[in-house]
Amino acid sequence: MYDMGKKPLGFIRNKLNKSNVILSLTILFVILVIVVGLVIFRFNILKYNVPTDDKVYDKYYVMITDNYKSDFWQEIYKGAFEAAKEQNIYVDLLGDNLPTQYSCEQLMKIAIASKVDGIMVYANESDKMTELINEAEDEGIPVVTLYSDNTHSNRLSFVGVGSYNIGREYGKQILNIIKDKDQKSENTDSEAGDDVTNIAVLVNSSSEETGQNILISAIKDAIEQGGEDGDKFSFNIITIIDTNAFSVEESIRDIFLNSNDDIPDVIVCLNELNTVCTYQAVVDFTKVGETYILGYYDSDAIIREIEKGTVYATVGIDSKQLGEYCITALSDYYEFGNTSQYYTADVKLINQNNVASYKKEKEAQQDE
Amino acid sequence: MNRFLDKPLQYKIISICVLTNIIIFFVNIFLLLGINSMSVEMEMVYQDNRNLNELSASLTSVQDSMTEYLSAKTSDSLENYYKNAQRFLMLTDKLDDKITELSFGRMERNIKYMSQNYLDEVSQTIEAKRGRNVEKYRAYYENSTAMYEYINAYITSLNLELFVNNSKHYSELNTAFRHYEFISFIVITLVMAGNILIITSFVSTMIMPLRRLADSANEVAEGNFDTELPELTYNDEIGTVLNAFNKMVISIKQYIEKIRESMEKERYMQEKELMMESHLKDAQLKYLQAQINPHFLFNTLNAGAQLAMMEGADKTYEYVQTVADFFRYNVNGKKTEATIREEVTLVDNYIRILNVRFSGDIGYDKQVDERLLDVPMPNMILQPIVENAVNHGIREMGDKGKIILKVYREDNNVCISIFDNGKGVSAEDIEKIMSGNWQRKEHQYDNNGIGMDNVISRLRLYTESENSFSITSEGKDKGCEVIIRLPYDERH
């Protein structure tokens, strides 16, 4: 009888083992589901709770300007920001994210009250600015004037462009323009001799900067020194009202509207916005070829206009370098207690001859 | 596992229910924890904005109380100013002044320092006002109001940015919540499926032996006791029932076997009895055929004996009396059993009759153990053997013929030996006699009618042994010995 039972015994044992295996697998499966579910859930939650990279910086510098949206200032800011980041310093473009637009003076006040570690300010020569810069220095905050100086204040250092150099470059270009014009008139008109070249320099009303004055005198010097006999110039300074946001464009248009035949042959612009407004006005008033524009700054739009020929030449400023110099000045101050009074960024003249290579260079830089 | 399966059925069922419930309970707890943490998270989303609003309100109250003091110079407003300033200071202290990648962080830092600056300005304003320094307090007031506006602008801006960010965070949380709902649903479904599998496999593991029991019970009910018995699996109630069932089936089988054996024995006994009877009947029939009317003969002989006595012929009387006794033995008993004593007496009578007939030719010698004479044996056995020995052994030897009868004990047997010194029997003839193939000669006279084959088969039936009868002869003219072995029972 036992022998008979042997075979089914094995069968039952098999079945028992099988059910044991199924049971263990099931329990394992349930546990697995719970664990996997929890893990997925955790990951999901974590995904939404990503703790933002709370990198803490040692110092906090602010950059103050009245036109933080322009390419020019954004470039400067970028240069400063990247240079600062390497030293674990954060640079803010103050006022960038505030609802109201504040003047440089107001922003200075905010910066002083915020006890920042360094200020880079697009200053002017006003007493108010001097006062604020001195106040900041009293509070122990080093101030670097950027692009435009306040010479009377106790500012740490000035970072800008060599206005005299720029002026001389402009002068050379004006001479070139006169040559071009002479050639043209010789070809077309016999009575070219009494042709007077009208040169207009656009100056902003709010800024009575020394830089501008230097620049203008440099232009004059260059023309007088390099000019041929018989060349006649009339040299005017046109003040552009920039008291409110849109007045610049209007005052530039006014030049074309009001002055009838007296439209300048050469317009020298001393900032980015003026350049843009001027070339647009020249295009709108169909004065291309008659009015030559000497622009300022090398934004993409201006470079494009040079390629087209609307703008005769422009001055490319290494704006990143400006920003970097600011940081260097401030860091030097913290490290050594003092720094150079002046920093001058490189300037490059761009006209139709070298615009292609300049563009290539710039692209190569950006690719880096 | 097996230890668990050995537990009582009730325990197992409850355990499974509890296990599955615990699994579901824990899953639910985890899901609830998840929901809880998410709802807390959601609650906290706009916490920053609320804090900022509080800060803003506090700032405004400082500014208001200062303005009030400046305009009315009431002690209430001064007190209010101190209280509000204290509160505002406390709130600004909580702000973080770390410079981080996030614009919020930096704005928070700026707000903190500006607020401290503002509080300084305000307190200076108040001081100047108390000192009636008109020019100074105006300047301070302007400064602090400007600062107030800047701070407010900052707070508004920060609030807005935080709101945008938090709204984004909120909607992300909302999406996460939806995902979570979906995942929870899947998890619960899977866990339920798993539970169903667990319960199913457990229950089927528990029920399987019961099903096998039912199957084999059905087979047993149909009369197949040789069905394979369900294997004992676990020591639960089902295991107990299984065990009991198996025991029951085995003992039923044994019982049936016993009954069958005893019935067979009974049948065998009855058969034996019948055979004995039929052989005896056969012997008696033969005997009766030979002596037509024994009663008549016996009575006649008795009458002859009396006559001889009356005439004073003692020898004749004795002879006739012996003959009468010889025949009475056959007439008397219808029984099949007799004692050795009776059989030996019959042989004595027979020899005596023969000696009268053949005038004392036969030498007869008895060596009998008296203690064994009461042992039972089948009747009509010894006389035919002696008759055979006389007829075939010593008939022609005259007075030299001799018969020796011995009764003795040998181990557990009572042996009766009948020896004659006659012609002897050849081995072939012995073989024939023992196997019952001896051809009796026709028309044999002087024969009581009972053949050796009858004697042998009756003896064998009685003793249930093949060895109960043996013939030995050492050769021609060397005589022959017949030995009967009867089982000796001590009780006799």
* DSSP state, residue B421: -
| Phi, psi of B369, rounded to the nearest 5 degrees | -85, 110
User: How distant is the Cα of A2 from the closest Cα of chain B, in angstroms?
Assistant: 9
What is the predicted pLDDT for the residue at A21? 75
Residues whose CB is less than 8 angstroms from the CB of residue A61 and which lie 6 or more positions away in sequence, other chains included: A80, A84, A89, A90, A91, A92, A116, A117, A118, A119, A120, A326, A327, A330
Q: What is the pLDDT confidence band of residue A189, given thresholds at 50, 70 and 90?
A: low
Q: Which residue in A12, A90, A115 is closest to B233 by CB distance?
A: A12
Structure tokens at A327: 């940081």
Instruction: Indicate the range of A219-223, B293-297, B356-360 predicted with least confidence.
Output: B293-297
- The number of beta carbons lying within 10 Å of the beta carbon of residue A119 is 30
User: How distant is the Cα of A204 from the closest Cα of chain B, in angstroms?
Assistant: 28
- Which pTM was predicted? 0.59
- The number of beta carbons lying within 10 Å of the beta carbon of residue B413 is 18
Q: What is the pLDDT confidence band of residue A194, given thresholds at 50, 70 and 90?
A: low
CA distance linking residue A91 with residue B101, whole number of Å = 10
Structure tokens at B289: 């055929």
CA distance linking residue A285 with residue A277, whole number of Å = 12
B-chain residue closest to A19, CA distance:
B201
HSE on the CB side for B403, CA within 13 Å? 29
What is the predicted pLDDT for the residue at B331? 63
Residue A192 has pLDDT above 80, yes or no: no
What is the predicted pLDDT for the residue at A63? 93
Residues in chain A: 368
Strands A118-121 and A157-161: unpaired
* DSSP state, residue A55: P
Structure tokens at A307: 């390629």
Find where tokens 């600056």 sit. Answer: B117
**Domains and their CATH numbers in chain A:** 57-161+320-345 (3.40.50.2300), 163-319+349-367 (3.40.50.2300)
B-chain residue closest to A112, CA distance:
B114
Q: Which residue in A5, A33, A92 is closest to B190 by CB distance?
A: A33
User: How distant is the Cα of B21 from the closest Cα of chain A, in angstroms?
Assistant: 13
Strands A118-121 and B376-378: unpaired
Average pLDDT over residues B303-317: 87
- For chain A, first and last CA: distance in Å? 91
CA distance linking residue A66 with residue A118, whole number of Å = 18
Structure tokens at B395: 């008939």
In this complex, how many residue pairs, one in chain A and one in chain B, have their CB atoms less than 8 Å apart?
142
CA distance linking residue A199 with residue A194, whole number of Å = 16
Q: What is the dihedral of CA A319, A325, A327, A330, to 10 degrees?
A: -140
Residue A6 has pLDDT above 50, yes or no: no
| Residue, of A328 and A72, whose pLDDT is higher | A328
CA distance linking residue B113 with residue B94, whole number of Å = 12
Q: What is the mean pLDDT of chain B?
A: 84
Percent share of chain B, pLDDT over 90: 16
Angle between helices A210-226 and A163-188 (to 10 degrees): 40
- From residue A218, give the alpha-carbon distance in Å to each of A151, A159, A201, A215, B231: 20, 20, 12, 5, 116
Q: Which of A48, A53, A101, A102 to mutate to test the interface with B (most CBs of B within 10 A)?
A: A48
Find where tokens 């647009």 sit. Answer: A280
Give the bridge partners for B409, in sequence order.
Answer: B414
CA distance linking residue B343 with residue B376, whole number of Å = 10
The closest alpha carbon to B87, from B113, B68, B61, B109, belongs to B61
The closest alpha carbon to B84, from B103, B60, B108, B117, belongs to B60
The interface residues of chain A toward chain B in range 61-90, judged by CB-CB distance below 8 A, are: 90
Give the bridge partners for A159, in sequence order.
Answer: A146, A343
Residues whose CB is less than 8 angstroms from the CB of residue B409 and which lie 6 or more positions away in sequence, other chains included: B369, B372, B415, B488
In tens, the pLDDT along B390-420 reads 888 887 787 788 889 999 988 888 999 999 8
The answer to whether the Cβ–Cβ distance between B101 and A54 falls below 8 Å is: yes
Q: What is the pLDDT confidence band of residue B56, given thresholds at 50, 70 and 90?
A: very high
Residues in chain B: 492
Q: What is the pLDDT confidence band of residue A259, given thresholds at 50, 70 and 90?
A: low
In tens, the pLDDT along B91-120 reads 998 888 888 888 888 888 889 999 999 999
Angle between helices B134-221 and B9-45 (to 10 degrees): 160
CA distance linking residue A77 with residue A93, whole number of Å = 7
The interface residues of chain B toward chain A in range 172-191, judged by CB-CB distance below 8 A, are: 172-173, 175-176, 179-180, 183-184, 186-187, 190-191
Q: What is the pLDDT confidence band of residue B294, given thresholds at 50, 70 and 90?
A: low
Find where tokens 């047993």 sit. Answer: B220
User: How distant is the Cα of B77 from the closest Cα of chain A, in angstroms?
Assistant: 26
Q: What is the pLDDT confidence band of residue B291, given thresholds at 50, 70 and 90?
A: low
B-chain residue closest to A22, CA distance:
B201
Q: 3-class DSSP state for residue A263?
A: coil
Which strands make up the sheet holding A292-296, listed edge to edge? A232-240, A196-204, A266-268, A292-296, A313-317, A347-351
Torsion sign (Cα): A149, A150, A151, A155: negative
The interface residues of chain B toward chain A in range 220-239, judged by CB-CB distance below 8 A, are: 226, 228-229, 231, 233
| Residue, of B130 and A8, whose pLDDT is higher | B130
* DSSP state, residue A156: S
The answer to whether the Cβ–Cβ distance between A57 and B100 falls below 8 Å is: yes
CA distance linking residue A333 with residue A59, whole number of Å = 13
What is the predicted pLDDT for the residue at A257? 86
Q: A115's torsion region: left (phi>0), alpha (psi -120 to 50) or beta? A: left
What is the predicted pLDDT for the residue at A226? 79
The interface residues of chain A toward chain B in range 27-66, judged by CB-CB distance below 8 A, are: 27, 29-30, 33-34, 37-38, 40-41, 44-45, 47-49, 52-60
| Residue, of B289 and A352, whose pLDDT is higher | A352
CA distance linking residue A115 with residue A60, whole number of Å = 9
Q: What is the pLDDT confidence band of residue A108, given thresholds at 50, 70 and 90?
A: very high
The closest alpha carbon to A354, from A300, A320, A316, belongs to A316
CA distance linking residue A214 with residue B171, whole number of Å = 57
Q: What is the pLDDT confidence band of residue B358, given thresholds at 50, 70 and 90?
A: confident
The answer to whether the Cβ–Cβ distance between B198 and A26 falls below 8 Å is: yes
- From residue B89, give the alpha-carbon distance in Å to each of B84, B85, B86, B114, B152: 8, 6, 5, 11, 15
Does the CB of B205 have a partner CB in chain A at under 8 Å?
yes
The closest alpha carbon to A64, from A144, A139, A136, belongs to A144
Q: What is the pLDDT confidence band of residue B211, given thresholds at 50, 70 and 90?
A: confident
In this structure, are residues A135 and A112 in contact, taking their beta carbons and an 8 Å threshold? yes
Percent share of chain A, pLDDT over 70: 85
- The number of beta carbons lying within 10 Å of the beta carbon of residue B252 is 12
Instruction: Indicate the range of A98-102, A340-344, B56-60 predicted with least confidence.
Output: A98-102
In tens, the pLDDT along A130-150 reads 999 999 999 999 999 988 888
User: How distant is the Cα of A99 from the closest Cα of chain B, in angstroms?
Assistant: 6
Structure tokens at A275: 């350049």
Q: What is the DSSP string of B322-384?
A: HHHHHHHHHHH---SEEEHHHHHHHHHHHHHHHHHHTTS-SEEEEEE-GGGTT-EEESSSHHH
Residue A18 has pLDDT above 70, yes or no: no
Residue B263 has pLDDT above 90, yes or no: yes
Reported as type and span, the H/E element at residue B392 is none
Q: What is the pLDDT confidence band of residue A330, given thresholds at 50, 70 and 90?
A: very high
Q: What is the pLDDT confidence band of residue B2, given thresholds at 50, 70 and 90?
A: low
Residue A157 has pLDDT above 50, yes or no: yes
Residue A46 has pLDDT above 90, yes or no: no
| Residue, of B328 and B255, whose pLDDT is higher | B255
Q: What is the pLDDT confidence band of residue A213, given thresholds at 50, 70 and 90?
A: confident
Q: What is the mean pLDDT of chain A?
A: 82
CA distance linking residue B243 with residue A221, whole number of Å = 125
Q: Which residue in A26, A34, A57 is closest to B27 by CB distance?
A: A34
The closest alpha carbon to B108, from A255, A137, A101, A60, belongs to A60
What is the ipTM metric for this complex?
A: 0.73
Q: CA-based Rg of chain A, rounded to a whole angstrom? A: 33
